[in-house]
Amino acid sequence: MLRTFGIIVVALALVWVVVRTFMGDMGYGYFEVTGEGKAINQVSVCRFELNERTKALADATALARSDIDKARENAALTDTERAERIAEAESLIAENEAASATLAKTVHFSWSRTIGIWLAAFFTLCIMSFLYKDNPLYRFAEHTFVGASAAYWMVVTFWNMAIPIAIGRLFPRFVKFNLAPGHPLDSWVEKLAAENWLAKIVNYEAVVGSGLNAPWYQLMNWWYWIPMAFGVMLLWRLAPTGQWISRWPLAFIIGGTAGIRMVGFLQADFVAQIRSSITPLFVLREAGGNSLAFQQAFYCSMNSIILLLGMITVLIYFFFSLEHKGVVGRISRVGIWVLMITFGAGFGFTVMGRIALLVGRFQFLVQDWINYSP
């Protein structure tokens, strides 16, 4: 029963959207601004503005038409007054129609945008169908998403890292002429000449200012063969034999990451957080030295006291060398309350985040796909 009802609702919604899309009874959700439109408006205008402008012009035209009818029906008016009012309204209608025509010229129906919106709506509905139960449509959308994300990640990383940073440093001229024209050859040679330890062996100075004509070995930053070799070693895992080779670069990555993160955590989370916790309990003056009003002083002091009490009680709760009985037990009980309030606040934020995502999807379906403009 519920399933049939759901299918009927979705089918009706689809029919409604299709009819609205292809019969012209819709806003500008599926339109794009033409080059001429961009020139007229100076910049691109969004669908919301186009819809609003069109609606405003249509409303003004309807109002002018009703003014004409009222003027014709109003017996109190003289013929001259009536003619004047009608002429005024007709001129307004002509102006609005001209403005609407100009607006219509500045946009064109966009197949790419339309197909994009429909695909996005299709996948959104497929994912939402999981609320009913696991089904092939949901799995199709999920697999497509994972595949597309992985492919996108690979392409972006290749063009943003592998080409400019790795291959670009080893074969800069090849990269500049074949892959990335913005490659700064001259400045690199200057940098190599100034900073590179290999400058004692390779004569970089000789090619400063003529990077385009320099021999390949003078443009190459030889140090980059080390990460290149690590990369190859890492991929060795895929080879039929010698998978152990990949452990060496992996060990380097893990060791390097741990080192970098440890320093970061020590500075920003350990030392700095202890420093931030040491605050005056009774705040009577602000940082500039000016006295605080009673209300502000009370608020700031309470903040500091709650911070101190919360920190001590939670620390005691996690102190397991003493049995949680008597005073220690009561304090650790307060610690549990502090933790629960913190988790509650965190959960509240998570709920807000999830609802915001739901709102975003529904806004897309209502405003972009169905093309409803409130």
Partner 1 sequence: MAVAVIVPIIWPMEPFEIPSTLAKDAFETVENLPEGSNVLLAFDYDPGSAPELQPMATAWVWHCAKKHHRMYFMALWPLGVNMVQDTVDQVIHKDYPELEEGVDYVNLAFRTGNEGVIKVIVTNLKALFNVDSRGEALTQIPMTKKIVSLRDMNLIISVSAGYPGTKEWIQYAGTPYGIKVVGGCTGVQAPLLYPYYPGQMQGMLGAIKGASEYEHLLSTKYPEYKYGPSYSPDTPKDKLKPRKNFTQGLTRMGPQLIAHCLILVLIVLGNIALYMQRRAREAV
Give the residues lining the site for partner 1 (CB under 8 A). Answer: 42-46, 48-49, 52, 152-153, 156-157, 160-161, 164-165, 168, 180-184, 187-188, 257, 260-261, 264-265, 267-269, 272-273, 275-276, 342, 345-346, 349-363, 366-367, 372, 374
In the complex, the smallest distance separating the C-beta of residue 267 from partner 1, rounded to whole angstroms, is: 5
In the complex, the smallest distance separating the C-beta of residue 261 from partner 1, rounded to whole angstroms, is: 7
Q: Which is nearer to partner 1, 46 or 62 (CB)?
A: 46
Three-class SS of the chain = CHHHHHHHHHHHHHHHHHHHHHCCCCCCCCEEECHHHHHHHCCCCCHHHHHHHHHHHHHHHHHHHHHHHHHHHCCCCCHHHHHHHHHHHHHHHHHHHHHHHHHHHCEEECHHHHHHHHHHHHHHHHHHHHHCCCCHHHHHHHHHHHHHHHHHHHHHHHHHHHHHHHHHHHCHHHHHHHCCCCCCHHHHHHHHHHHCHHHHCCCCHHHCCCCCCCCHHHHCCHHHHHHHHHHHHHHHHHCCCCHHHHHHHHHHHHHHHHHHHHHHHHHHHHHHHHHHHCCCCCCCECCCCCECCHHHHHHHHHHHHHHHHHHHHHHHHCCCCCCCCHHHHHHHHHHHHHHHHHHHHHHHHHHHHHHHHHHHHHHHHHHHHCCCCC
Q: Which is nearer to partner 1, 77 or 223 (CB)?
A: 223
Q: Which is nearer to partner 1, 87 or 347 (CB)?
A: 347
Q: Which is nearer to partner 1, 42 or 78 (CB)?
A: 42
Q: Which is nearer to partner 1, 236 or 372 (CB)?
A: 372
In the complex, the smallest distance separating the C-beta of residue 346 from partner 1, rounded to whole angstroms, is: 4
In the complex, the smallest distance separating the C-beta of residue 316 from partner 1, rounded to whole angstroms, is: 19
In the complex, the smallest distance separating the C-beta of residue 49 from partner 1, rounded to whole angstroms, is: 8
Q: Which is nearer to partner 1, 83 or 115 (CB)?
A: 115
In the complex, the smallest distance separating the C-beta of residue 142 from partner 1, rounded to whole angstroms, is: 13
Q: Which is nearer to partner 1, 1 or 352 (CB)?
A: 352
In the complex, the smallest distance separating the C-beta of residue 230 from partner 1, rounded to whole angstroms, is: 14
